[in-house]
Amino acid sequence: MRRPEPLEIFQPTSIREAGALVKEKGPGGRFLAGGTDLVIAVKEKSFSPKYVVDLKRIPGLSGIREEADGGLKIGSLTTLREVEISPIILKRFPFLAQSAAEVGSVQIRNRATIGGNMANATPSADVAPALLALEARARIAGLNGERVVELEQFFRGPGQTVMAPEEILTEIIIPPANPSLVGEYIKFSPREMMDLAYIGVAVAFVFNASQKLCEKVRIALGAVSPTPMRARGAESLLEGQVLTEELAEKAGAEAARECKPISDVRSSADYRRDMVRVNTKRALLNAAAQRPGKWTERRDRRY
């Protein structure tokens, strides 16, 4: 590990101050949240930001809030460990807690933030597919006020988002969900822990368990295109249908067809496609069979 050059670090106490600092100092700076991506880039990948603006002294950027309409707001500096163990998230969206639990180790999750996982815009970011399946939105604040964008529109490419350099991701907004929503996240990575996803699949749908009917089906994939993506063709095959093993198989094949994986050091594109096929089917069937809040028991049966 290379000894990094000394860095100029600022610790603003408001979003306005943080944005103004970036405006004043010019291009080449970076915001700092948990540092689990940024510090590695500086120490191991020879990345030299011109300056760093630490967001952690800005009040109000962390915490998980249930809204009166049933929606959920997660502050961008909320750690992935907080998402993993949050009673609200475990009750409402256990597969989102599960996706956070898949990141690195508990030490990493104690520092890594949900905002950093999105803002870093790695195609394999584990929390992104679960949030896409929940149709989450991102609240972004800048010097000229706030805007809210669909998370699906937030990612522009590997390492790229719609945010301008002085803009800060302040919160993730999860819209109200039907109480019969079920879901699942599967991270496929042959090593049990501490590896990035070869592929990730999140599914969420409103399930009438007695009739096995699926509605509002959302399927999102990670690590198989330049940005986390929805598999809309697979979703439409299932919409309003009775879920059978055969239909789940067809949806898996369709998701495999519509994703756009690359070959790299972890896996060939063909293998990734096949893992999307198998794990989309598995995620759909797991979600339909799930007992709420028991995902930790199912985790051992992931592969």
Ligand X SMILES: Cc1cc2nc3c(=O)[nH]c(=O)nc-3n(C[C@H](O)[C@H](O)[C@H](O)COP(=O)(O)OP(=O)(O)OC[C@H]3O[C@@H](n4cnc5c(N)ncnc54)[C@H](O)[C@@H]3O)c2cc1C
> Least distance from C-beta 77 to ligand X, angstroms?
7
Sequence-ordered list of residues with C-beta below 8 angstroms from that of 268, at least 6 positions apart, any chain: none
DSSP 8-state symbol, 114: H
Q: Scan residues 156-215 and list those touching ligand X (CB under 6 A).
A: 163, 168-169, 194, 196
Closer of 92 and 187 to ligand X (Cβ):
187
Closer of 124 and 280 to ligand X (Cβ):
124
| Best CA proximity match to 272, nearest among 235, 229, 217, 216 | 229
| Binding test (CB under 6 A) with ligand X, winner from 74, 125, 219, 237 | 125
Where helices occur in 120-179 by DSSP H, the ranges are: 127-133, 151-154
What is the total count of residues that contact ligand X (CB under 6 A)? Answer: 31
| Binding test (CB under 6 A) with ligand X, winner from 18, 31, 130, 290 | 31
| Binding test (CB under 6 A) with ligand X, winner from 30, 92, 273, 302 | 30
> Least distance from C-beta 196 to ligand X, angstroms?
5
Closer of 76 and 280 to ligand X (Cβ):
76
Q: Scan residues 84-113 and list those touching ligand X (CB under 6 A).
A: 103-104, 108, 111-113
181-188/199-208 β-pairing? antiparallel
> Does 141 sit near ligand X (CB under 6 A)?
no
For 61-76, the DSSP string reads: ---EEE-TTS-EEEET
Sequence-ordered list of residues with C-beta below 8 angstroms from that of 281, at least 6 positions apart, any chain: 245, 248, 249, 251, 252
| Binding test (CB under 6 A) with ligand X, winner from 15, 18, 32, 96 | 32
> Least distance from C-beta 272 to ligand X, angstroms?
16
Closer of 104 and 226 to ligand X (Cβ):
104
Please identify, among the stretches 5-13, 35-43, 87-95, 234-242, the one whose residues bind ligand X according to the rule CB under 6 A.
Answer: 35-43
Helix axes 269-289, 245-258, angle to 10 degrees: 140
| Best CA proximity match to 279, nearest among 294, 259, 262 | 259
| Binding test (CB under 6 A) with ligand X, winner from 74, 119, 220, 276 | 119
Cα distance between residue 190 and residue 11, in whole Å = 40
Cα distance between residue 144 and residue 135, in whole Å = 26
Residue span 212-251 as binding mask against ligand X, x where in contact by CB under 6 A, dash where not = ----------------------------------------
User: What's the Cα-to-Cα distance from 302 to each of 41, 198, 217, rounded to whole Å?
Assistant: 30, 14, 21
Please identify, among the stretches 14-22, 26-34, 90-98, 266-274, the one whose residues bind ligand X according to the rule CB under 6 A.
Answer: 26-34
> Least distance from C-beta 233 to ligand X, angstroms?
25
205, 287 in Cβ contact below 8 A? yes
Cα distance between residue 267 and residue 123, in whole Å = 14
Residue span 50-89 as binding mask against ligand X, x where in contact by CB under 6 A, dash where not = -----x--------------------x---x---------
Cα distance between residue 299 and residue 277, in whole Å = 19
Q: Which residues bind ligand X (CB under 6 A)?
A: 30-38, 40, 55, 76, 80, 103-104, 108, 111-113, 115-117, 119-120, 125-126, 163, 168-169, 194, 196
